[in-house]
Amino acid sequence: MRSTISGSRRLSKVHMFSAAGIAAAGVATVAFAVVPAGAEDKTRAVSVKPVAWNTADFGTLEQQDHLNQQADNAARQAKAEAEAKKKAEDEAAAKAKADKERAEKEAASRSEERAPLQAAPAAPAKKVYANNLDGWIREALDVMQAKGIPGSYNGIYRNIMRESTGNPQAINLWDSNAAKGIPSKGLLQVIDPTFKAYHVEGTSWDIYDPVANITAACNYAAKVYGSMDNVNSAY
């Protein structure tokens, strides 16, 4: 049974939507029209204005954002890698420098340890004197020169020949000194008290030693007469 509602209006047809890029969030403007009942259903032309973006545009933007994000990530990663590389290189350079300095220091230390000791300056050859009157006088003169005691070879020789005729063991047992118990002894006939008082450092303490006897006698003569050269008789 059909029933008809008079005076009512009905939609003859629902116009189809036109959308662009719904899957990609596109928006379209849809228009529809209502025609009166009883009239021939006609679909009036409706103009649809498309939006500015379409699905292709949204896809491109999304891809671009993704690419930009990837580029940013790549840039940050590259920067981090560059900084890590530089840090590693700096640390390696610092370590290499420290190793080099340590190696050089150790090498220098080993070199110093292995360096041969420098030979001490050779001592001047000891002068050799003949073991006779000439040698005794010459050695005594060298000692006297070092100690600043005046005297000459001729002055010493002359007094030795008068006092002992060159005998280092000569002893006077008959003069006044002998009478006092202190006889004159040696090449220049020196008594013990005088020898001890005028002994020259570096020579023997034996009064009969030729060099010790000559230097002590010359030291005494220098104080009393100015030099053994000035002595021409018993002194």
DSSP string covering 129-161: --SSHHHHHHHHHHHHHHHT----HHHHHHHHH
Q: How far is CA 195 from the centre of its chain?
A: 61
CATH fit for domain 133-230, picks 3.40.50.2300, 1.10.530.10, 3.40.50.1860, 2.30.40.10:
1.10.530.10
Task: Please give the Cα distance from 205 to 213 (Å, whole number).
Answer: 9
Lowest-confidence region among 46-50, 72-76, 185-189: 46-50
Give the pTM: 0.50
Specify the DSSP element, H or E, that contains 151.
none
Name the 3-class secondary structure at 190: strand
pLDDT, residue 117, reads: 56
pLDDT tens digits for range 10-40: 434 333 333 334 433 343 343 333 444 444 4
Distance between CA atoms of residues 206 and 179, nearest Å: 22
Q: How far apart are CA 24 and CA 20, in angstroms?
A: 9
Sequence-distant (6+) residues with CB within 8 A of 124 are none
Higher confidence at residue 166 or residue 99? 166
Please report which confidence band the pLDDT of residue 111 belongs to, taking 50, 70 and 90 as the band edges: low
Give the span between the Cα atoms of 161 and 144, in whole angstroms. 20
Distance separating alpha carbons of residues 4 and 67, to the nearest angstrom: 63
Task: Round to whole Å and give the CA distance between 213 and 203.
Answer: 9
Inter-residue contact 28 to 18 (CB < 8 Å)? yes
Q: Mean pLDDT across the stretch 110-128?
A: 68
49 or 86, greater pLDDT? 86
Q: Encode pLDDT of 160-213 as tens digits.
A: 999 999 999 999 999 999 999 999 999 999 999 999 999 999 999 999 999 999
